[in-house]
Amino acid sequence: MAKRKDGKKTKQKLLDVACDVFAEKGFREAKITDICRRAGANVAAVNYYFGDKESLYVAAWRQAMEQFLSNDTLPPEELPPETRLQMAIRHIIHKILIDGQDRGYFRRIELMELANPTGLVDDVWKAIIAPRQKEMLDIIRDIMGPTASEDAVILCKMSIINQCRGYILIQKSRLESIDSQPLTPERAEQIAEHITRFSIAGIKAVCEETEIP
């Protein structure tokens, strides 16, 4: 039993350190020997628990993303779709601008992946994000109504997500310089509210132009 517990601890330690190293250096520059040294393990442990560097990277990226998305809750379906959209956007913005600045590895490891794409995490990303994308699509359909085209719904979803996702690419100091205001929870709330109003207005405008006859 003790051996099994030690094994679990070693595996988790390797995973935690891998998150840190991949977030710091990216996949290509990260070295397995460096990860093992920091984790107090040998290279054979990586091969035993993960198989290779690629598999360790995917596992680390998954852990970072799942930690980032922890405590996610779906807006109640009985609420108006505009309110559900507001709640969803607010949740995303606070995750990126407030939670993501201070804890977890996802923001940094995702920036590394965006700067130098590996293609290794595509399947994991799709599997984790797919339910959340469906949620957003359902909300937008409810706002646009049954006569809206599916393509219009998808494009609106992409516009909203990219408004939020763009903040991942901006460091806190640069964002404060651009915005001329300190990044506080209150400011994040204002940003989320603006994206919501902007998005709802855009959705309704697109809906008027692309309704199916």
pLDDT score recorded for residue 100? 57
Half-sphere exposure of 98 (CA within 13 A, CB side): 15
164, 195 Cβ separation under 8 angstroms: yes
- C-beta separation of 164 from 153 below 8 A: no
Structure tokens at 41: 């393990």
In the chain, CATH 1.10.10.60 covers 1-62
- Give the residue from 78, 54, 34, 88 showing the smallest Cα distance to 199: 88
Torsions phi, psi for 72 (to 5 deg) = -65, 140
Question: What single string gives the DSSP state of each residue in 39-54?
Answer: HT--HHHHHHHTSSHH
The DSSP call for residue 103 is S
Distant-in-sequence contacts of 80-84, Cβ < 8 A, 24+ apart: 81/139, 81/140, 81/142, 81/143, 82/143, 82/196, 82/200, 84/139, 84/142
Give the pLDDT score at 59.
96
What average pLDDT does range 70-96 have in this prediction?
87
Q: What is the pLDDT of residues 142-178, one digit of tens each?
A: 999 988 899 999 999 999 999 998 887 777 777 778 8
* CATH fold label, 67-211: Tetracycline Repressor; domain 2 (1.10.357)
Residue 99: the pLDDT is 72
Per-residue pLDDT tens over the stretch 13-53: 999 999 999 999 999 999 999 999 999 999 999 999 999 99
Q: Which amino acid appears at position 4 of this protein?
A: R
Strand partners, 148: 211
State the average pLDDT over residues 83-94.
92
Span(s) in the chain for CATH 1.10.357.10: 67-211
Give the C-alpha separation, 199 to 70, whole Å. Answer: 25
Angle at 138 between CA 136 and CA 144, to 5 degrees: 105
Coil, strand or helix at 211 = strand
Paired strand residues for 211: 148
Specify the higher pLDDT residue, 178 or 103.
178
Q: Tell me the CATH number for domain 1-62.
A: 1.10.10.60
What pLDDT was estimated at residue 28?
94
Q: Which residues contact 161 (CB under 8 A, 6 or more apart)?
A: 136
